[in-house]
Amino acid sequence: MAAGNRRTARLAAVLAIFHAALFLDITFDWRWMLYRHLESTAIVQRWYQVRHWPQMGMLTVLVAILFAAMIVVRRRFRSPPGAAMALEGSLLSLGCWATEVISLHATDAILYRRLGALMTINFVWMLACLITATGMVRIVNNSRAAKGSRE
**What does the pLDDT look like over 111-129, one tens digit per residue?**
999 999 999 999 999 999 9
Instruction: Please tell me the predicted confidence (pLDDT) of residue 151.
Output: 61
- Structure confidence at residue 150 (pLDDT): 66
Looking at residue 48, the DSSP 8-state letter turns out to be G
The dihedral built from the CA positions of residue 143, 148, 150 and 151, taken in this order, carries a sign that is positive
Q: Alpha helix (H) ranges present in 51-119?
A: 52-76, 83-102, 105-111
Nearest to 62 by CA among 112, 13, 12, 99: 99
The 3-class secondary structure across 116-134, one letter per residue, is: CCEEHHHHHHHHHHHHHHH
Confidence check: pLDDT of 147 > 60 = yes
- Other beta carbons within 10 angstroms of residue 128's beta carbon come to 22
Model confidence pLDDT, tens digit, residues 1-57? 566 678 888 998 999 999 999 999 999 999 999 999 999 999 999 988 898 999 999
Predicted pLDDT of residue 79: 81
pLDDT grade, residue 146 (50/70/90)? confident
Cβ atoms of residues 77 and 91 within 8 Å: no
100/121 Cα distance (integer angstroms): 9
The rounded distance, in Å, linking the Cα atoms of 134 and 141 is 10
Q: What is the pLDDT of residues 74-98, one digit of tens each?
A: 999 988 889 999 999 999 999 999 9
The model carries a pTM of 0.90
